[in-house]
Amino acid sequence: MNISQTRHSLDCIFNARSVALIGASDDQKKFGFMTLRSLITAGFKGPIYPVNPKGGELMGLKVYPTLKEIPSSIDLAVIIIPAKFVPETLCDAAEKGAKGAVVLSGGFREAGRPDLENEIIKISQQKGIRILGPNIQGINYLPNNLCAMFFPVIKTKGPIAIISQSGTVTAALSEWAADEGLGISAAVNLGNQADLCESDYLDFFASDPNTRTIVMYLEGLKNARRFLQVLESACRIKPVALLKAGRTATGQRSAASHTGSLASDYGVFSGVCRQLGACVAGDLETLYDAAKGLATIRPPGGNRILSISSSGGAGTLAADQAEDHGLVMPPLPDHVVAAVKKAGPPPLATLSNPLDLVSIVAEDFRKVVLALDQFDAADTILLNFGDPIAGGVELAQELAGKIRASLAVAYFGGGDEEKKGRIALHQIGIPVFPTPERAVRGIGAATGAAEFLRRR
């Protein structure tokens, strides 16, 4: 299929109006039980048809002995049965009108059965049913309340779409974003990519209005040339952050044994991705920080950063990271310092960049930031809260709507005030990072993406 047909197929899959789960189980330890529970818990609005030869009832839903006995057509089949039964089930799903099948089952190419994988590819081509997987944890598309994965069930809607080779990484990124109140728009686990692959999902989410940023964890590429072509197009539309595993020979062997993928040369791949506009991370934590920055920081007008902290150590930590991420912390000119003094900062404040207020009073931050912003002193201002700041949420919200500079927050050592503030700020679209260093990483990612678009 061409790219527009594939995009249409994915739209039908993610926005499915009815789902059949083949392999539903009443055993709480089995994935067939967990997946049905996820579909129900996520709040899917359409009919859900559990399928199991035993029939009966499960979680309040009628269970059908076979797909053929479902009384109406279906949009999506979710399959979690032994691999040898998957080909026939795909044929039955296609007969029932399914546009796609999420094949959670393992036991294909990754387990030494390329013949079975080739068989389901052939069925996909002949019957026109698109395959997600096999050997995956599932998919979650929050705009449709569709969580077709055995875990986790993420219901916190947000700006980030996750595309990941690893189910564990899919879950980790999703849960980090949900726990912080940031949320996701979607999560897709890649698995073997027998049919639909990373390039297809990247293209879809690049045009998805519910997604602001795409984050990817990759081990191997199905078609490297096509991926780079799609990446180039996607980066012109919205920011992409990615982590490519397999930098070492040991990592490449692990990737191959995990999904049967062949890992490409890491150095060449990462270099080309950067040239095309992607933010390439070296580890999972940095990947998440980059995604958060890209999704929530207003595109900075340049690479100047100004840290305003409640304590000197917070500013020093930020300064040590700035250069590594393409940022500069310019000194404050005398006339700017004079204006800040006139605004009435605390008497012990150090008026430089980084700027140490020696204060935990929100109003002190407010006066200084507004004084600095009128002189265009920085492209991004970092509110570096190293202590509990009462009223910090309201302060950040007010400043984000007033100042010309972009805004980010680092909040650490703040106890319960910090925990509540982090969730509240993310819910109104203001990024909060747990350390100054991680804040600088996020600002660096946002700055780099903005600069790339200006050059383009």
Please name the helix (run of DSSP H) or strand (run of DSSP E) that holds residue 178, with its range, or none. helix 167-179
- Neighbouring residues of 230: CB distance < 8 A, sequence distance ≥ 6: 199, 202, 203, 206
Domain 1-137 annotated CATH 3.40.50.720: yes
Residues 134-184 have pLDDT tens digits of 999 999 999 999 999 999 999 999 999 999 999 999 999 999 999 999 999
Task: State the pLDDT at residue 262.
Answer: 42
Task: Determine the Cα–Cα distance for residues 352 and 73; give it in Å rounded to an integer.
Answer: 67
Alpha carbons 84 and 105: distance in angstroms, whole number: 10
Identify whether 114 is preceded by a cis peptide bond (ω within 30 of 0): no
Of the given ranges (312-316, 336-340, 382-386), which has the lowest mean pLDDT?
Answer: 312-316
Chain-wide mean pLDDT for the chain?
94
Its CATH class, for the domain covering 154-296, is alpha beta
Binned at pLDDT 50, 70 and 90, residue 264 comes out as low
The pLDDT value recorded for residue 258 is: 43
Q: How far is residue 230's CA from residue 396's CA, in Å, rounded to a whole number? A: 37
Per-residue confidence (pLDDT) for residue 65, from 0 to 100: 98
- Using alpha carbons, list the distances in angstroms from residue 213 to 124, 128, 301: 30, 30, 19
Length of the chain: 456
pLDDT per position as a tens digit, 33-63: 999 999 999 999 999 999 999 999 999 999 9
Q: Where are the domains of the chain?
A: 1-137, 154-296, 298-455
* pLDDT band, residue 416 (cuts 50/70/90): confident
Band of residue 263 on the pLDDT scale cut at 50, 70, 90: very low
Q: Report strand pairing: 61-62 vs 57-58.
A: antiparallel
- Residue 261 pLDDT exceeds 80: no
Amino acid 413: pLDDT: 80
Confidence bin at 308 (pLDDT 50/70/90): very high
Question: Which pLDDT band holds residue 3 (cuts at 50, 70, 90)?
Answer: confident
ω into 354 cis (within 30 of 0): yes
- The model's pLDDT over 121-146, given as tens digits with 9 standing for 90+, comes to 999 999 999 999 999 999 999 999 99
Q: What is residue 61's predicted lDDT score, i.e. its pLDDT?
A: 98
> Residue 26 has what pLDDT?
96
pLDDT of 227 over the 90 cut: yes
Q: What integer pLDDT is reported at residue 260 of this predicted model?
A: 42
- The answer, yes or no, to whether residue 101 has pLDDT greater than 80, is yes
Architecture of domain 298-455: 3-Layer(aba) Sandwich (3.40)
pLDDT digits (tens, 9 = 90+) for 190-217: 999 999 999 999 999 999 999 999 999 9
**What would the pLDDT profile of 236-253 be if each residue is shown by its tens digit?**
999 999 999 976 555 455
Rounded to 10°, the helix 334-343/362-373 angle is 140
The pTM of the full predicted model, rounded to 2 decimals, is: 0.94
Instruction: Give the pLDDT of residue 94.
Output: 98
Cα Rg of the chain (Å, integer):
25
pLDDT at residue 405 is higher than 80: yes
Asked if residue 257 has pLDDT above 80, the reply is no
194 vs 191: CA distance, rounded Å: 8
Question: Among residues of the chain, what percentage have pLDDT more than 90?
Answer: 90
Range with the poorest average pLDDT among 236-250, 381-395, 440-454: 236-250
How many helices (H) and strands (E) the chain has is answered by 16, 19
Angle at 171 between CA 221 and CA 121, to 5 degrees: 40
Residue 35 · residue 148 · CB < 8 Å: yes
Strands, E, within 223-301: which ranges?
A: 240-244, 279-281
186 forms beta bridges with: 141, 161
Mean pLDDT of 268-296: 96
